[in-house]
Amino acid sequence: MAWNLDGDRPIYIQLVEILQSKIIAGEYKPGERLPSVRDFAAEAGVNPNTMQRAFANLEQMGLIVTMRTNGRTVADNPGIISRKEKELADVCIEQFFTKMKEIGYEKKEALALAGAKVDGGDENE
């Protein structure tokens, strides 16, 4: 897994975002046991305390569950994962419209341009 972390934002927030996306995308399935904090931290090249903080945030979100004797697993609750997926999609859509407005497009124009890309395909895909 590529851990593209930058120094502009807190590392633990970036870790939460990466892991949240992986859970939503199904890379970590509901009920699946996750690697340990130390293993994830070593893989990401971060301090275990930073990874622990990210895990605590994911647990607060309801995306992971701590099993006392069995480590952490992805929450086996499709409703929570679906709700988080929609929240993340809403954020991406809002960011899209914000960026498009910054370069001079109104919402209707941005949607038309995006629709044309979808309908016409993209040569780079």
pLDDT digits (tens, 9 = 90+) for 59-78: 999 999 998 887 899 999 88
pLDDT for 124: 52
How large is the average pLDDT for residues 86-103? 94
Query: Which residue type sits at 19?
Result: L
Torsion angle (degrees, nearest 10) of CA 55, 58, 59, 65: -80
User: How large a percentage of the chain has pLDDT more than 90?
Assistant: 77
User: Which helix (H) or strand (E) covers residue 60, if one does?
Assistant: helix 48-61
The contacts found for 1-9 with CB under 8 angstroms, 24 or more apart, are: 1/43, 3/43, 3/44, 3/45, 3/46, 5/44, 5/45, 5/46
pLDDT band at 2 (very low <50, low <70, confident <90, very high): low
Please say if the pLDDT value at position 57 is more than 90. yes
Tokens 């038309």 locate to 112
pLDDT digits (tens, 9 = 90+) for 29-50: 999 999 999 999 999 999 999 9
pLDDT for 121: 62
| φ/ψ of residue 33, rounded to 5 | -75, 135
pLDDT for 41: 94
Contact (CB, 8 A) for 64 and 58: yes
Give pTM, 2 decimals. 0.77
pLDDT for 115: 87
The two tokens of residue 74 are 């992805």
